[in-house]
Amino acid sequence: MNLTEIAHFRYATKVFDPDKRIPDQLFDQIKTLLRFSPSSVNSQPWHFIIADSPEGRQRLSQGALGSYAYNERKILDASHVILFCAKNAIDDEYLLHLLDTEDQDGRYADASQKDLVHQVRTMFVNLHRFDFKDAQHWMEKQLYLNMGAILLGAGSLGVDALPMEGIDIQALNEEFGLLKQGYTAVAMVALGYRKAGDFNAALPKSRRSEAEIFTVLS
């Protein structure tokens, strides 16, 4: 599939086939995308809870009770479900951890280069912490970038997906003890294969027109 074909193939899957499972070799590629997603100043402010069993999906479905019940079946019937969690805060200790990881991965030929990266990253992160005061929001943006890559990547593998913001963040934070680990649930992505007859697969896609959304400078 080329990009246009993938853009039309992928859609918000509303009914998953509970009998179809994503082969491990394909899901491993999705995990690679999760890990290698770009993020501002390589901040990687995320953690992913992955459910690939009925028990795991059951736990994640604790975030789809009450007024979120419209998403419950999607979580239970998908093959794999990923809960995207963002860091609640970004501190100096974490910035040093990033730096050491990069060093171990062989990115610094000498100490001065390493120091420079640390200074620049700290300056940029501190802008969000202390000037803009939007560090949490900024970190969540990094998660959404990752989520976008997953949706496109899944489509390229012929895997169906549904991103979900309609989840009970508080219930999920409690279920997985996320706050005390420094994270908060943000959104979920269910992955698997559409069930024949999913009403949403048959509906035409609807988007604002090219004329409305593009300004081409030529």
Ligand X SMILES: Cc1cc2nc3c(=O)[nH]c(=O)nc-3n(C[C@H](O)[C@H](O)[C@H](O)COP(=O)(O)O)c2cc1C
Between 166 and 182, name the residue whose CB sits nearer to ligand X: 166
- Output b/e per residue, 138-158; b: 16+ Cβ within 10 A: bbbebbeebbebbbebbbbbe
Q: Between 130 and 199, name the residue whose CB sits nearer to ligand X.
A: 199
Nearer to ligand X, 14 or 59 (CB): 14
Neighbours of 192 (CB within 10 A): 24
Smallest gap from Cβ 117 to ligand X, in A, equals: 32
The active-site residue, picked from 140, 165, 175, 195, is 165
Residues interacting with ligand X, by CB under 6 A? 11-12, 14, 71, 162-166, 187, 205
Nearest approach, Cβ of residue 104 and ligand X (Å): 34
* Shortest separation between residue 49's beta carbon and ligand X, angstroms: 17
165 is a catalytic site residue? yes
User: Strands, DSSP E only, in the chain?
Assistant: 46-51, 80-87, 160-164, 183-192
Q: Which residues contact 112 (CB under 8 A, 6 or more apart)?
A: none
| Active-site pick, 5, 14, 195, 210 | 14
Provide the minimum distance between the beta carbon of 11 and ligand X in the complex, in angstroms, as a whole number.
Answer: 3
Residue nearest to ligand X (CB): 166
Q: Rank residues 23 and 158 by Cβ distance to ligand X and give the closer one.
A: 158
Long-range Cβ pairs for the range 53-61 (8 Å, 24+): 56/81, 57/81, 59/175, 59/176, 60/172, 60/188
Shortest distance, position 108 Cβ to ligand X, whole Å: 36
Could you tell me which residues are beta bridge partners of residue 46?
86
Nearer to ligand X by C-beta: 11 or 46? 11
C-alpha–C-alpha distance, residues 140 and 137, integer Å: 5
Is 74 known to be catalytic?
yes
Question: Helix, strand, coil: what percent of the chain each, to 5?
Answer: 55, 15, 30
Residues 72, 74, 87, 210: which is the catalytic one? 74
Q: Which residues are catalytic?
A: 14, 74, 165
